[in-house]
Amino acid sequence: MIAGNAWVDALVRMGIIGALVPVSVIVLTWVERKVIGRMQMRLGPMRVGPYGTLQGFADTIKLLTKEDVRPQTADRWTFELAPFVIVVPTLMALVSLPFTADLFVRNLTLGLFYIVAVSGLSIVGFVMAGWGSDNKYALIGGIRAAAQLISYEIPLVMAVLAIAMIGQTLNLSEIVAKQHNVPYIAYQPLTFIIFTIAGLAELYRQPFDIPVAESEVVGGPFVEYSGIRWSMFQLGEFVNLVLISILGSLIFLGGWRWPIGGDAPVIAQFALMFVKASVFILFFMWMRASLPRLRIDQLMAYCWQLLLPFAFLQIVINGLVLVYDWPSVLLTVFSTIAAAAAIWLTYRVAQQSGVRYQPGFDRVGSVL
């Protein structure tokens, strides 16, 4: 408790998170441009502030002062409310997300469930934006977003469910506490792979940026948005990035604990969470710089034919091990075997469907 009154306490905590998250988003846009710049042998932003550190803030000021345009034929309320429908659920999800052992707004008993449930709402925002813009590209983008996000929500939820089975709780703080000796990535490598891929798809980032593909649907649902409303889409995207990264580091990497057991002091807890979440974020940026976009049929097939069955397989394995009280080493063994099978299957399908366009540049884009 920071303050005596529960309401005041909650407000203070929400204020802290509500102030920190936009700033972290601003910094993240800069980090992303820098990282991708380096991966393309560029420098990235360098002009605004030392090493371009103030670039994000300059962009924010520019976006906030830009004219907010609404097309004449747009459906007024749908169009104007869509950014809120996207941003608000992601911010709501942060309410139950513990950043360290003590820094959280509310430590919900059903925290994991709540986060999954709430962050699924933002799909409605994409459909609203697509429909309300009265623009065919926006509409196609919105429909694509709905299809992709709903599809990948399922393996994501199943992966989270497998973790909840191991942890025997939906409370995120307890899940972290249960990883006192071994982080869950050791028990559930397959779940980790599924979570990372599905999470990447949930963030609609490359190579899963089909709904917002510039070259196909010129930005998808955001086509008609400008200024502050567009920046809200951007905010939602990056808050989601932070959310998935922190969630992943909480349930797989042991959150604010040292990697191999042991409690950490408060400062180290911050540092550990920062490092673990950064690993996720940098990995997502790395993927973005490296991989071309998938086709929508590849995307759907990969989700429904591979990720989902393997997520169910993981749940069955977990159930067997837990019900018959087998030693937890078996979880590692079975999950590793299943992960190897998943990777092998992906590899085989990719080998079969890959079309050789140029020698030396084959099958980079075809996952299935």
Per CB under 8 A, residues contacting other proteins are 35, 37-43, 46, 286-287, 289-291, 343, 346-347, 350-351, 362-367
**Cβ closer to other proteins: 168 or 351?**
351
**Cβ closer to other proteins: 23 or 343?**
343
**Cβ closer to other proteins: 136 or 348?**
348
Rounded to a whole number of angstroms, the minimum distance from the CB of residue 267 to other proteins is 30
Rounded to a whole number of angstroms, the minimum distance from the CB of residue 286 to other proteins is 6
**Cβ closer to other proteins: 38 or 295?**
38
Rounded to a whole number of angstroms, the minimum distance from the CB of residue 347 to other proteins is 4
**Cβ closer to other proteins: 5 or 40?**
40
Rounded to a whole number of angstroms, the minimum distance from the CB of residue 25 to other proteins is 23
Rounded to a whole number of angstroms, the minimum distance from the CB of residue 245 to other proteins is 18
Q: Mind spelling out the 3-state secondary structure of the chain? A: CCCCCHHHHHHHHHHHHHHHHHHHHHHHHHHHHHHHHHHCCCCCCCCCCHHHCCHHHHHHHHHHHCCCCCCCCCCHHHHHHHHHHHHHHHHHHHHCCCCCCCCCCCCCCCHHHHHHHHHCCHHHHHHHHHHHCCCHHHHHHHHHHHHHHHHHHHHHHHHHHHHHHHHCCCCHHHHHHHCCCCCHHHHCHHHHHHHHHHHHHHCCCCCCCCCCCHHHHCCHHHCCCCHHHHHHHHHHHHHHHHHHHHHHHHHCCCCCCCCCCCCCCHHHHHHHHHHHHHHHHHHHHHHHHHCCCCCHHHHHHHHHHHHHHHHHHHHHHHHHHHHCCCCCHHHHHHHHHHHHHHHHHHHHHHHHHCCCCCCCCCCCCCCC
